[in-house]
Structure 1
Amino acid sequence: MVFVSTNFDNSTMWEGCFKLASDGWSWIPNASVKSTTDCIKLLTHHVACNGNVLLGVGPRPDGTIEERQVQRLQEIGYWVKNNAKAIYGTRGGPYMPSKFVYSTYKDNKVYLMIHNFDGRETIDINNIQANIVSSKLLNGTPISVTKAWWGGLAIHVPEKLQDDAVTIVELTLDRKASDVPLIP
C-alpha cells in the first residue's frame, strides 16, 4: 500500500525510511518481503512529493543479505536504471499527487508516473498551462495525448506498453516546467 500525502510542498526536501522486510528492521527468518511493485510505487510517490527514500535491509547475523532481499533490490535497481530520467535531479510537480498519477519535472520535461491504468488504455488528468511539444514513454515510444471532452488531457498508453509497476510518460513542454503553476 502506498501512503498518499495530503500536504504537498515541493519547496521542502524530506526523506521516508522504510524496511524491505515487512516484519522488522532487523533480519527475521522467513519474514515477508515487500513486492517490487510496492517498492517502486513507494519510491515514485516520494520522489513526486519531493522526497527521498531510504530502504533498509536487515542483514543476517553473519552480515550477509538473504537472497530474496538481494533479488528484490536488483529488481528495483533495474527499474530505477531504466527510468532514471524521471527520478534523479527532478522536483515534485507540477501535478499534485493523486490516487493514480504522480509527477516530477526537470527543465521543460514533465514525467507522469502512472501507478494504475485500472485495466484501461487511457487515463484523464487535468490540463497543463503549457503547450505539449511531444509525448512519449521513457523508452522513446511515442504515445498520444489528446484533449479530453471535459477540457483536461487524455493520456493514451496501449496495455502492451504499460509497465507492470509504474508507467512513466514524458511530456515535453514549450516552456520550463517550473514556470507552470501546480495542478490539482
Structure 2
Amino acid sequence: MTTFRQQLVLALIAATSAILATVAPALIEQDKKSFSEPKPFVTATSAICDKVIVDKVCVANLTVQVNSNELQQVKNRDRLFLKSGDTLRLSNVYYCIPSQTLLNKVEVKGYLFKHGVESYKNGLFTPSNFPIYAACHNIGNFQKTWKLEPGQHQVSIPIIKYVGSNRIVDGSFYFNLDVGE
C-alpha cells in the first residue's frame, strides 16, 4: 500500500514539474513585457473627462430635456437659461470608469439645489443597474422631472462608488440653471 502511495505522490510531483516547466517561462516572459512596455493611460475616458485621475469614475456629459423639446447635451459646469415653469428631465448620463479603478458598485443620482442651497431632498434617481467594468457607459431611465422656479439653481450629479463596504464620492458633475420669470 505504501509503494502505491509513493508512486502516486511521485507521479503528481512529476506532472506538476512538467506543467510548471511549460507555463512558468511563458508567465515570466509576459511579466517582462508588461514591465518593459509602459502602458500610458490613454483611453476613451482620458479624452472625454476633464482631468481624469486613474482611479476616479467620472461623468463625461449628460443629456437633458427641457419641456418636451429636443434633447440637449450638457457638459460639466455648463449654464442653461430657462423660464419659470419649465420642466427639466435628466435623460442620459454618460460616465466612464478607467481600467485601474477598483469598485464593486456605482451609483449616479441627480440633485437640484434651489437658490444655491445644498439640499438632497430634490433628487432624481434611476432604477437602472450601473455597469462597473472599465469603459464608458450611457445610462438613463430617470423617472421624474423637476418643475423650475425663478432663481439661480444648480444641478449636481455625484458619482458614488463602492469599494468593498466603503462608500466613496468620486466627484460631482454639475451645471447651473438661470431661471427667469
Higher strand residue share: 2
Q: TM-score, normalised by structure 2?
A: 0.25
Larger Rg: 2
Q: TM-score, normalised by structure 1?
A: 0.24
